[in-house]
Structure 1
Amino acid sequence: MNLSFKRLQTDSLLVLSVFIVASCGLAYELIAGALASYVLGDSVLQFSTIIGTYLFAMGIGSHLSKYVPEDKVLQRFIEIEVLVGLIGGLSAIGLFLAFAWLPTFKTILYALVVCIGTLVGMEIPLVMRIFNSQKQAFHELVSRVLTFDYLGALAVSLLFPLVMAPMLGLARSAVLFGILNVLVAGWTAWHFYPKVALMDTEGLSVDEQQQQRANHSKIRSRLIVRILVAMVLLLTGLIFADRLVGLSEQKLFKAPVVFSTNSPYQRLIVTEKSGHLQLFLNGNLQFSTRDEYRYHEALVHPIMQKLSDSTRATKPKLEVLILGGGDGMAAREVLKYKAVDHITLVDLDPEMTQFFAESSRFKKLNNDSLNSSKVSVVNADAYKWLEANNEVYDAIIIDLPDPSHYSLAKLYSEPMYHMVKDHLTAEGLMVVQATSPYYAPKSFWSIDKTLQVSGFKTTPYHAYVPSFGEWGFIVGSPNTSFTPPAQYDLPMRFLTPSVSREMFTFPPDMQPVEVEPNTLDKQILVHYYVQDWSDE
């Protein structure tokens, strides 16, 4: 092949190729970052290191592109599209399986990121060299390529979190982007190679023309075979993606997965073993039906019994706010008090609240609390909802996932607790689940200190939940110190006056440690949390 292919006229398909190439390149980066944050936690750290490594690898790829000979540019571009489509498309499936079965997950993760980033880094320089066949002005060449490159990045940055990840999941999204890369390779080989073959024979003898056409035909045939093989592999991956991811989850959770779904915010998985169900959000256990009553009784009843005692004469009806608790279990416990007039439950994820409002087995478990006439379910970010509303409540129960990453730690920050205090009545009480004072002491006591600097008088306590071990809670009062109830009016499976007294006593190995409060700017709580559970 000689340099005559530079005389090809720019085709609209090539412009579309730039758009798709940019979309796929960013998609693989987002998928790797999201998957790493799902399985490793600390989303800021994972996305920062993934993006940094990916951009570095793209720089390597851009440098390597200059070594592609002019007469091989089109061929190499097609080969790279096939490779990046195949590797990037199957990357999420491979990473899920690696996390479940191999001890070297991080090594595999960053090796894949470097490999994909290097290939993606070669794409745009090669496309620009193909565009340069028109011999157009440099500023026009750069403008056209980068315009569609950035438009493609914008498109996928919107589609991925809003449509692809929640509707298709990470694995199938990656495969679909891989198919797009291979389609780019296919139409480039189909559309451009015949023109290259025709133009490269201009001015040659009859024998030379025949030889050149034969060479082009062989190259094109090999490329088409590779494209077809890659497409078959990706389509197979698309068909079996859910099953393969399910195998990895089955290995991780050590119990049959009976339900799984993706939302824009998390992956929800329910497992069942020996008749007991477990709920996992992004791989983290939220509760087991074997012992969830211990957790929810300990969370709800100390403050609700106290409020029921103190307001029985002065205020017969109680207004309650639950932040989180989309499973309806905390609401189930609150509804046991006749003094409760209304519960507002604010949970970010509509998939979560809908599932627990409609699933027959979980409706039975939460006593159909989410469908109670006394309960209003609001799907919103708790932080933003508190900012936008002025209602005050007698009790605020904060039942949120652990502060494993920054978007969650924001809900354990000083500004958050200031807003919670503003939404409490003068004699109201709040309680927050606060991780484990035994396994995560820095996290637990940081939450306690954050509440204190936010103006609360705090009373920490703990309960043993077999699925979690020792688990911690903190009562916050805006004015007077909280004293645990001496007795409980309601019959319960776990909580008794003697158990309650023990909950509010901390043994020597769970005493306070010196920590900083969690501010919105610094978010030290995430670092404490990662450190605590890494040391466990």
Structure 2
Amino acid sequence: MIDQQVSLRGGAARLPVRPRTGRFLVLAAVFVCAACGLVYELELVALASYLIGDSVTQASIVLSVMVFAMGVGSLLAKRLRSHAAVGFGLIETALALIGGSSALVLYATFAWIGESRLALVGFSFTIGVLIGAEIPLLMTLIQRVDRQDAGGTVADLFAADYVGALVGGLAFPFLLLPMLGQLTGALLTGAINAAAGGALVLWVFRRDLTPGSRLLLIVANAAVIAVLALTTVLVDDFERAARRAVYGDGVRVAVQTEVQEVVLTGSGRGSLHLYLDGRLRVSARDEHRYHEALVHPAMNGPHARVLILGGGDGLAAREVLRYPDVRGATLVELDSGVTRLARTDPALSELNGHAYRDPRLTVVTADAFTWLRAARGSYDVVVADLPDPGISASTKLYSAEFYGLVEGVLAPGGRVVVHGGPAVSRPRTYWTVEASMREAGLHTRPYLIGGRLSDFAAGTPPVRRAPPPGRRARGPPRPGRRTPPSTASCWRRSRDRADPRPPRRSCRA
């Protein structure tokens, strides 16, 4: 212990700042590096969920690989402790370059190669190794500037690290993503990372560097910051080229809202497509099949008051407002950017029949689940025009609790209609939706839609029953045989509250 204190005093004497100031600067660097590291992590999770889908799986891959890699990085950093200053400076330079460019490269592999999983794992592992190597080297550096015991040093380092992670975790969704977007936000984070790491080493620990290592760090940091700055200038051109590779040459609108990326391609009835987070939501060629089949069966009965959950594109509202005896319709949409586009874009507003101009339509910007919890009044028809039930982020909108909330706003004898997903290719998902509705106390009547379909479209009126759970769907049609439906929707009728009988447990087409 005496030898350690003598060594620390000797190290402190070589620094250009007082020990307390040096300690503060090291902890500030820990704070900034931790914030940047978490932004890289969240950036990978968000972009992987957008490009590959299934946010739960992608988050699990990124987090597990990064945590493992951080352990590997901590072990590898043991060999750099004798050259902690230059080692830390080079690691931060590499982390700034790799982390800052990770989103851009991941997007490029998806756009031009069509596969991003290997790039995702590679970036997660590399960034995790570099982050894991930071703490051991910072521990060595902070002991160079202060004589505090090891226990207190560890506590201070981890406190700064955790607070920095908090700031980075909050800055990503509330500041970087909505204001700068995924690619520019990652590039700016990399530049900040390089500047913080380089400033600490080149100023506070410059006397620990040889002339050659000092020159190396200056050139490396300057080159990385210059590359990131130049890429930031060119990122708009890159995004346009990548979007053309993904969506084709007809991209007219591409905006990042607070909720998702919205892309609109084409302009006419035969070419208009609306993509939300890379998933085709509307195809003008056949969207009428889906929306007519979704809305009109449920309108067979009283329909003076209608509630539309989702459907910010206005297409379900178009079908509802075709009925002159609809006195009022309420549309609850989470993303105000989608409703704004549906109002203002000439092609999309023409496709939805200028539904937003109809005085009977009231638009509410809110999460459907949260809004239903506080909703008052009753509706004759509820139309759930929601994301596909196979998407992890929309799971709560297909739960028994959600349908219980819907049942609570239905008038006696009211109906709710839900797109249950493709019954033939994903029967488990479809029948889980149906069972969840029965669990909420609703009578159910599933029906299928036939015809040529996209991922989100449905088709013509029902022509046969969906296969019940456990029974295999029929194979491809034989020549001369009518094509069976391949996608399903379900419409639900609520139990009359004056009827004491329990809901039917069977499902009839």
Scaled by the length of structure 2, the TM-score of the pair is 0.84
- 1:298: which partner in 2? 293
- 1:209: which partner in 2? none
Residues 280 and 457 (structure 1 numbering): CA distance in 2 closer, same or farther, change over 3 Å? Answer: same
- 2:432: which partner in 1? 446
The Cα offsets for residues 392-421 of structure 1, whole Å up to 9 and x where unpaired, read as 100000000102333301101111111111
Q: Is the 8 A contact 1:437 1:470 kept in 2?
A: no
1:439 shift after superposition: 3.0
- 2:282: which partner in 1? 287
- 2:60: which partner in 1? 48
Q: Is the 8 A contact 1:41 1:404 kept in 2?
A: no
- 2:250: which partner in 1? 256
**SS across alignment from 2:421:** coil
- 2:180: which partner in 1? 168
- 1:190: which partner in 2? 202
1:365 shift after superposition: 1.9
The Cα offsets for residues 463-484 of structure 1, whole Å up to 9 and x where unpaired, read as 3464517955xxxxxxxxxxxx
- 2:474: which partner in 1? none
Q: Is the 8 A contact 1:287 1:467 kept in 2?
A: no
2:194 and 2:370 map into 1 onto residues whose CA distance is 42
1:347 matched to 2:333: yes
Aligned letter for 1:90? S
2:191 and 2:243 map into 1 onto residues whose CA distance is 25
1:246 shift after superposition: 3.3
Residues 371 and 123 (structure 1 numbering): CA distance in 2 closer, same or farther, change over 3 Å? Answer: farther
Aligned letter for 1:295? Y
Q: Is the 8 A contact 2:449 2:463 kept in 1?
A: no
1:266 and 1:104 map into 2 onto residues whose CA distance is 21
**SS across alignment from 2:292:** helix
The Cα offsets for residues 85-132 of structure 1, whole Å up to 9 and x where unpaired, read as 000000001011112233652122111110010001111221121111
**SS across alignment from 2:124:** helix
Identity %: 35
The Cα offsets for residues 127-154 of structure 1, whole Å up to 9 and x where unpaired, read as 1211111122223312322221111111
1:20 matched to 2:32: yes
Aligned letter for 1:372? D
Matches within 5 A, 1:60-209: 60-70=72-82, 72-102=83-113, 105-133=116-144, 134-196=146-208
Residues 335 and 159 (structure 1 numbering): CA distance in 2 closer, same or farther, change over 3 Å? Answer: same
1:24 and 1:465 map into 2 onto residues whose CA distance is 49
1:320 matched to 2:273: no
2:361 to 351, 375, 398: 375
Query: Which runs of no fewer than 5 residues in structure 2 stay unpaired?
Result: 1-6, 472-487, 489-509
- 1:477: which partner in 2? none
2:11 and 2:436 map into 1 onto residues whose CA distance is 67
- 2:493: which partner in 1? none
1:69 shift after superposition: 3.8
1:420 matched to 2:406: yes
- 1:242: which partner in 2? 236
2:113 and 2:456 map into 1 onto residues whose CA distance is 30
Q: Is the 8 A contact 1:436 1:444 kept in 2?
A: yes
1:196 and 1:49 map into 2 onto residues whose CA distance is 39
2:424 and 2:447 map into 1 onto residues whose CA distance is 12
The Cα offsets for residues 336-391 of structure 1, whole Å up to 9 and x where unpaired, read as 11111111111111111122122232222222222432111111111111111132
Q: Is the 8 A contact 2:81 2:140 kept in 1?
A: no
Q: Is the 8 A contact 1:437 1:471 kept in 2?
A: no
Residues 183 and 470 (structure 1 numbering): CA distance in 2 closer, same or farther, change over 3 Å? Answer: closer
Q: Is the 8 A contact 2:281 2:456 kept in 1?
A: no
**SS across alignment from 1:340:** coil
1:360 matched to 2:340: no
1:5 shift after superposition: 4.2
Between 92-101 and 5-14, the greater mean CA deviation after superposition: 5-14
Between 181-190 and 411-420, the greater mean CA deviation after superposition: 181-190
1:57 matched to 2:69: yes
Q: Is the 8 A contact 1:128 1:145 kept in 2?
A: yes
1:62 shift after superposition: 1.2
**SS across alignment from 1:270:** strand
Aligned letter for 2:454? F
1:273 shift after superposition: 7.3
- 2:462: which partner in 1? 504
Scaled by the length of structure 1, the TM-score of the pair is 0.80
- 1:459: which partner in 2? 445
Q: Is the 8 A contact 2:100 2:188 kept in 1?
A: yes
- 1:36: which partner in 2? 48
Between 117-126 and 5-14, the greater mean CA deviation after superposition: 5-14
2:222 and 2:104 map into 1 onto residues whose CA distance is 20
- 1:405: which partner in 2? 391
**SS across alignment from 2:181:** helix
The aligned length equals 457
- 1:223: which partner in 2? 217
1:455 and 1:94 map into 2 onto residues whose CA distance is 49
2:364 and 2:248 map into 1 onto residues whose CA distance is 34
2:52 and 2:336 map into 1 onto residues whose CA distance is 24
Aligned letter for 1:505? V
Between 448-457 and 281-290, the greater mean CA deviation after superposition: 448-457
